[in-house]
Each structure stands twice: as structure tokens, then as C-alpha cells.
Amino acid sequence: MSVSTQKSMPLRADERGATVGTFHIEDVYPCIDAGRFPVKRLAGDRIDVWADIFRSGHDVIVAQLIWRHEQDRDWQRSVMTLQDNDRWFGILAPAEPGRYVYAIEAWTDEFATWKRNFELKQKAGQDITLDALEGAALLTRAQYGDKDATAIILRQCEDFLHKGDPASLLVPELTSAMAEGCVRSDLTRSRSYPLTVDRTLAVAGAWYEMVPRSQSAVPGQHGTFRDCIARLPDIAAMGFDVLYFTPIHPIGRTNRKGRNNALTAADDDPGSPYAIGSKEGGHDAIHPDLGTFDDFRELIAACKTHGMEIALDIAVQCSPDHPWLTQHSDWFKRLPDGSMRYAENPPKKYEDIVNPDFGCEDAGSLWNALRDVILFWINQGVRIFRIDNPHTKPFNFWEWLIREVQTKDPGVIFLAEAFTRPKVMKGLAKLGFTQSYTYFTWRTQKGEIESYLNELTGYPERDYYRPNFFVSTPDILPYHLQSGEPWMFKSRVALAAALSSTYGIYNGFEILEHEAIPGREEYLNSEKYEIKVRNWDAPGNIKSYIAALNRARRTNPALLQTRNLRFLPVDNDQIIAFTKQSDDGSNTIVGAIALSRESRELWLPLESIRMETVNGSKPPVAIENLMTCERHAIEWGGVRLRLDPLRDPALLFQCLA
């Protein structure tokens, strides 16, 4: 890819929308909602850009792909090539995270057009005297190009004027020099398209969610950050990249919820961590029983030594005791009788929570305060934030906040926790959320799993929606896990870890916690309302299984992306079969995962798979089990396998060429 950096040149274009000028530049890809929202990629990714470019007549066209960081003035440029039927192709590859824009420029190559016509007339034996003079005149009008190109143009122009031989105008190096240097009187630029470039953890990671206050080894004792540090080796041994905390702020006393969400709390009930704020502080404070800011920074440093990062839960809501209710009472709504309007989702009421009023007269100060909360925690070393219920707050607020934060630190990651309508979830992803919760938690049947993944990996979703497959959350204990069967827990975590590049578990999953409120998808004795102490090495735990999955992910780039996923036709509605391939085609994974507990034989068809090797594209000759290293030769276009879910519900293989 040839890339150059150049200052902007005169052009005829309307940066606000459609092209103005000689050229039509249409059907640009990638592009989200006609350029309203940014396409998302990773730093270092090769980004293929396509566009239809055409003009009237038969003149020779030149097209360039241009891009820059949105805060820069100068553009980087690379040549686009014509494929067929006026479809042009170019490549860009920003090396650093940040917000970029890209566009396409096209112009007529007057010299190449002249040369083509001149040679046709010359071949036909026509008089070319005046045509040669026209070609020489084009050389005298050249305006652009580097020193080498300028030197070639001057030399050949002088040579023609001295000898009068048209051959001086036809040498290949002059054609190249004039392509760079000729006048671009009809230069046309497309509108600019936004591009967000992120770091790797924005796309590929394994999340471990836990409630910090429940990490003590002493029953009834409030956990601390030091207790969390003590747990890091165990979590790191399972192969997790992100340690995600529920809110760590002081918890209000007013209307505090008791165990199992009881309306009345006992004196020793800790309350919900989502009832944020007390006399000890608000969103920029730490619950005093967890420790100090020094303890928190020590935890962040300890995570780093284990190859993990901390993610914080940000809930834009307050306890009635939050300092903001006193300092900024106009940020909150009240009922006609003057009493506080508590949060509700009729018929549910949340008496321990009040929501800020984004329509208040001082909304600007509210927006700034919430942005400053994020910036405050970034200053403490946090760069990943899970946003609670973002769909209940104004979309334009999130678009503004994410831009404000990522302008200061483009490596900050935002996860949208929005279990809501599909278009709303996609809208949040478009406006800037780095990752998104999904419906995977409830997808259990083969048809609906395949259909959902085909949607997420299709266009245009794949260019902006990055799924994070959580198998459970503190709020959701799915019905399919409530039996506590180990094979089902293994099947669900294998599906999440293999199908999505990013997935997560809620602590307790590894020890098969499954006691639910009867008839509901909620945990009985939820730690949202009490402190729990667990035996993390309880008999029957699946920690080693999760660790093996995460090892397989880290050693196989194909599993660390969600874009190149294809389902394989297996004649059994209780088995999901698929293949995933790394972007460069060198790493290919195939898998078969059981959706029920019965043992089955299956034929895994592999005849459609091709791998990129140093000797070109080839079909695989064998597959190797990622867990057991057992190999199977591929014969007659596939492999016959036996899947025993009670032993292992997932068969994952690397293809060997």
C-alpha cells in the first residue's frame, strides 16, 4: 500500500453531503447510516474501502483514499485501484486508537488521457504534430508532485522542446510523474466518513464480574480491595482479561433494600450497591468498608501484573442520600406534593433510587458532572466502564460524553448494558458504545442461535455492533441454568467463548450457582442485597474447564474475532457446528457444541474450508482438538465424531494444512 501525507489541495466538493463536480462518488463502504455514525475497527487493522466512481466521457480517472485523525489538518493518502464496473478499491490502516475521518478524491488524469489518445492516433498514422504540442503544454502546467517528479517533468519537457521528438513525452517515468503533478481542475471529494479505531480489548476479552464486598473469606465480613487482590491469582488462572466490579461507591440508608429485595432492611443489611451515594460521598467516592484510594490503586497495579484490567460499573442514578440531592436539588424531579420522585419502571418501584432529570434547566452542569465522574476514575487508572441501563438516558448525552472522554483518551472502552429493544441496542452501539450486551443470555435453540449470530456478523451490524456474550449476570439467572447440570454450564460458557470474541461470566458461575427465586430468572439470596462468602474451590467446580477455553482463545486468533463466523450444516438440531477464521486466513477453528445432554455421533463437513498458507490457499488435511490435542484425519470431505455432553459438550478443533 502506497501512502503519502499531503496538505489539502483545492477541490470541488460539498463536505456536508453529496459530491459536487465532475465525478459521482457513490455507494461507499464501509459506511454507517450514510456516514452519520462511525465505522469501528481496531488499531492496525487493514480497512478495505470500496466506492463506485465515475464521470461522463472516456477520460482516464485517478482516485485516492484519504484519511486523517479528526484533530489533524493533513491527510494521509493511498491510491485506489479500479476493480470492475466503476468499482474502486483502497486500503487504510491507522496504527493508533482514536477518531478518524476518511474520504475519497477523484480527478481526471489529463496527461494519461492525452497519451492514450495520442498513441491511438499515432498507431492509425494520423497527423500528430498539434497533439504533441498539446502534450508538451500539459507539462508546463504541472503544479504538484515531489522533487523527483518535478525533475522528470522538467527534463522531458526540455528534451521535447530541444528535439521536437514526441517520444520524449511517452516515456513511462513521465507518465508516473505527471499522474502526481498534473493540474487537477476537476478534483472532486466525497463527504467525510467517521471512523473509530480502538485497542484490542475493545473487541477481544474475557470478563469476570464480581461484587467486591463479597470477596472476604470470613462469613458476614465486608470484603475489601485487599480481599479482591487475594483473589486475583485464582481469576487470572482461569484466563480472564477484565475484572469487572459492580458499583464500589458509598450506599445510601434512606429506603435501603433488605435481603431478597425486601422493602425493609435490617440494621446489618448492606443495601444495593446501585443505590449510590451517602454522607460519605457519591460517584467519585469509595465505600469506606472497601478501603482507600491507595488500596484501589494498589488493586489496579496488582491486576496489571496478572494481565488484567479493572472495569467499573457506572450507574447514572442516586440514593436519596447522595450529596448531589443537596448540592444540586434542581437536577432531580419531584412530585406535585413536593416529595421525591423515586425511580420506577411501572409497576416496579425502586424507592432506594432517584434518577437525575436530564431535562432540568441546569442540564449542562449535570452533563459535565457525569463526564467528570468518568474522567475522575480514568485518573485513578480505570479505562473500562460498563454503563448501567444507558437506554433510559438521552442518546445525545451518551454520544457527547463518549466523544468527550475518548478525545482525551481514545483507549477508553464503554460497554452498554441495555437489555431492551433491538433497534435501541443497535442505536446505542452506533452512537459510540464500544461493546454491547446481547440476547445471547436467552438464546438456547439451534435456529435462534444461528439466526442471531448471522444477524450480528452480517452487514451493517458487523461494522458497529460488538457483542459481549454474558452467560449470566447478578440480575439474570436464566432458566436453562437453574437445574445446576454441569454439562449445561459448560455448554453455555463454551458457546459464549467460542462464538463471540468477547464474553463474560458472573462470579459463582464457575461453582455452578443456580438457586433461583421460584418461577423467576433471578437468584435467590442475591448478593445485590447481602454479602456472600463462597468456597471458590467447591467440589464440582468448572474452573479448569473455563481456563482451558480461555487458553484456546488466547492461542487462536480465529476465536478472538466475531466477524468471520460461518455455521456448518450438521443434521442434528441439538448440535451447533461452526467455523471461524482469523483475518489473515492462517488460523481456522471448527467446533461442534451440544445443546442437550444426549450423546450423539455427527458428521462434521469440512470440504468448504480453505486455509491461507505460505504456499497459497489449501484445504485442511486434519483437525486437532484444542483441549486434548487428539488429531483426526479429514477423509471424504469431513470427520465423523462422537459428542458426549456429560463428558464435554464442546468439541473445538484447529484445522491443519
* Average pLDDT along the chain, 657 residues, taken 10 residues at a time: 45 45 92 97 96 94 96 94 97 96 95 93 93 92 86 92 92 91 90 97 98 96 98 98 98 96 95 97 98 98 98 98 96 89 84 95 97 98 98 98 97 97 98 98 98 97 98 97 98 98 98 97 97 97 98 98 96 97 95 97 96 92 96 96 97 96
pLDDT value at position 68? 97
Choose which CATH entry (3.40.50.740, 3.40.50.300, 2.60.40.1180, 3.40.630.10) describes domain 565-656.
2.60.40.1180
537 is in an annotated binding site: no
State the Cα angle at 87 between 84 and 89, rounded to 5°: 105
pLDDT value at position 3? 45
pLDDT value at position 347? 82
Domains 23-197 and 565-656 share a fold: yes
3-state secondary structure of 264: coil
Query: Domain limits of the chain?
Result: 23-197, 565-656
352 is in an annotated binding site: yes
Q: Is 523:515 a contact under the CB 8 Å cutoff?
A: yes
Q: Which of 105, 313, 417, 513 does the annotation list as catalytic?
A: 417
523 is in an annotated binding site: no
User: What is the dihedral angle through the alpha carbons of 275, 279, 285, 288, rounded to the nearest 10 degrees?
Assistant: -90
CA atoms of 582 and 655, how far apart (whole Å): 12
Residue 475 annotated in active site:
no
Q: 84: buried, middle or exposed (CB in 10 Å: 19+, 13-18, 0-12)?
A: exposed
pLDDT value at position 203? 97
pLDDT value at position 8? 46
Q: Which of 388, 463, 510, 513 does the annotation list as catalytic?
A: 388
406 is in an annotated binding site: no
Short-list 392, 313, 386, CA closest to 350: 392
| Cell triple for 455 | 444477524
pLDDT value at position 350? 86
Short-list 259, 248, 262, CA closest to 351: 262
528 is in an annotated binding site: yes
Side by side, which strands form the sheet with 24-29?
Answer: 24-29, 47-54, 87-92, 81-84
CA atoms of 301 and 310, how far apart (whole Å): 10
Strand 75-79 with 61-69, pairing:
antiparallel
Q: Find the radius of gyration of the CA atoms of the chain.
A: 30
327 is in an annotated binding site: no
Residue 399 annotated in active site:
no
CATH 1.10.275.10 for domain 23-197: no
pLDDT value at position 20? 56
